[in-house]
Amino acid sequence: MSLRFVSSTLALLFVCGEGREESGELPAVAKTIAGVPVRNYNLARAAPKLADGTPAAWTKWILVLKPNVSDSHLQQFCTGSLCVCALQGHPSRGGVPFVSVHCSENDMEQVLLAHPGHAEFIEPNIQLSVVPAMPAPPQEGQKSQLSASWGLDRIGEPECSRRGEGTHIYVLDTGIYVQHEDFEGRAIPTLDVSSGTLVECHGDLNCAVDRMGHGTHCAGIAAGKQYGVAKGATLHAMKVLSDQGSGEFSWSISALDWVVSFGERPAVVSMSLGGAGRLSSMRTAIDAAATAGVTVVVAAGNEQSDACTFTPAFVPSALTVGASEISDQPAPYSNWGFCVDMYAPGSGITSAWIGSPLATRILSGTSMACPHVSGGAALLLGEHPAWNSGQVRAALLASGEKGALRNLWWFFWTNVLLSVRDATVQVAHDEALEKPGLSWTSVAAFCAMVSFVSIAAGGIVGFCVGKGFALPGIGHSHSGRELLHNTAAEMVESQEITESAEVMP
């Protein structure tokens, strides 16, 4: 059975299950400005309001342009208008073709009319936040540890001879306390976008400073000497969130663009942050990073909900990580579903903290699970620096511990726990491109059945497709996930997303 037939069947099931008719056009309620589609326009309604409750006159937008635009064109986009272009990408260097724009809809319309045919879509520049840390549970019955954190023992770090030397982990977060002893001088202040303006640090210790602690904790898990996975990797502080742990999506998009355009290789991006909804602009940015060979690892989120309804967790080219507990069960707070690619330890994780070079803290969350996988990716790239993001993903999934998690809600969700043991990574790369799973016929039959009962749960796309789940031969290959996602899920992305614009709690 051909991939095209199966993907078309899934798309058809989605349409039937949702009671919609695919017309190939945006729904009637879709918003446009100067003929350019505005995706997730309902999220723009979360903008500040005046005292009488009417929307404020200003708003913030992310404008994504056609892939063939140049850097110079982006620089001139707001010239002569009442709009302010705050951040922009570097498409001439392979970066993200975007501009963050501050202005009203009327002024945006004038800008677009002055540059006809250059815009792909517009999206509200909403807020995002760190994935919040959860209370650390008591680790009852814990065996004696070889490492400073039980999570390192569980993924086999003591049995790993690789250190990730020569690799670069870009931590997009609240900054890093680079003076902490666990970093051994391998943490570098690199970029600070938390003011809404991009600032290159050039090693300035007063730049990208972590005053919250979240970014330092995540960095320690990824590559700290005691608490980290890739103990030889270089860490880059990329401050894309304020000292309160919040920010705008354009800040993270700008940082991703910078990594693609100016960052060192081989590179891993670690993002323990997110917000509700499926923002196409973030997908564009992560896709650009993946195309450039950068592996992007993201947290699934702590809402006990479907990860496919959060950004950046839904993005197919990102590696989305759920959290596990010491009992080898999914953490009760962890988001779940087909958009979760693998799991890693996330509850009761010890790592570096701010305040002193020896400070530590125990935190829980998918924020802690994500950097375990980021470190694992760096270990692979240390041995195979020419590998692209798809090869890193395939090797991580192939070397992961299959069936390790108990009490997953659905047997067909991905059940892979990160493993970095030397014995498990000696898997041929081409073997990692296929993930054993259900047969084509059983998958099609199952999805047909689910389509009749999944309307209230978000439809067949979220339930049977997600990011391209364990379909044999395509479930965890980048091309296979893209095939399924582009065939069916884009039908959802073309419509207004109903999730709240509030930052994650």
CB atoms within 10 A of CB 31: 16
Q: Are 285 and 98 in contact (CB under 8 A)?
A: yes
Tokens read off for 447: 């999805």
Burial class from Cβ neighbours inside 10 Å (0-12, 13-18, 19+) for residue 403 reads exposed
> What is the distance between the alpha carbons of residues 482 and 486, in angstroms, rounded to a whole number?
6
| Secondary structure class of 433 (helix, strand, coil) | helix
| Secondary structure class of 397 (helix, strand, coil) | helix
What DSSP letter does each residue of 451-485 carry, written as one string? TTT-TTTTHHIIIIITTT-S-TTTTTSHHHHHHHI
What DSSP letter does each residue of 125-176 carry, written as one string? --EEEEPPPBPPPP-TTPPPPSSSSHHHHHTTGGG-----TT-EEEEEES--
- Find all residues with CB under 8 Å of 53, minimum gap 6, and list them: none
Catalytic residue among 129, 270, 281, 367: 367
Catalytic residue among 7, 90, 149, 173: 173
CA distances in angstroms from 43 to 186, 267, 294, 305, 381, listed in the order given? 39, 32, 29, 19, 38
Place of tokens 């330890």: 345
CB atoms within 10 A of CB 85: 19
What DSSP letter does each residue of 322-367 carry, written as one string? EEE-TTSSB-TTS-BSTT--EEEE-SSEEEE-SSSTT-EEEEBSHH
Residue 503: DSSP 8-state: B
153 catalytic, yes or no? no
> What is the distance between the alpha carbons of residues 190 and 155, in angstroms, rounded to a whole number?
29
Kind and range of the H or E element at 284? Answer: helix 280-291
173 catalytic, yes or no? yes
Q: Which of 446, 463, 445 is nearest to 454 (CA)?
A: 463
Give me the torsion for CA of 291, 267, 93, 389, rounded to 10°. Answer: -10
> What is the distance between the alpha carbons of residues 249 and 39, in angstroms, rounded to a whole number?
14
Catalytic residue among 90, 102, 180, 214: 214
CB atoms within 10 A of CB 61: 24
| Rounded-to-5 percentages of helix, strand, coil across the chain | 30, 20, 50
168 catalytic, yes or no? no
Q: Are 102 and 60 in contact (CB under 8 A)?
A: yes
Q: Could you give the residue numbers annotated as active site?
A: 173, 214, 367
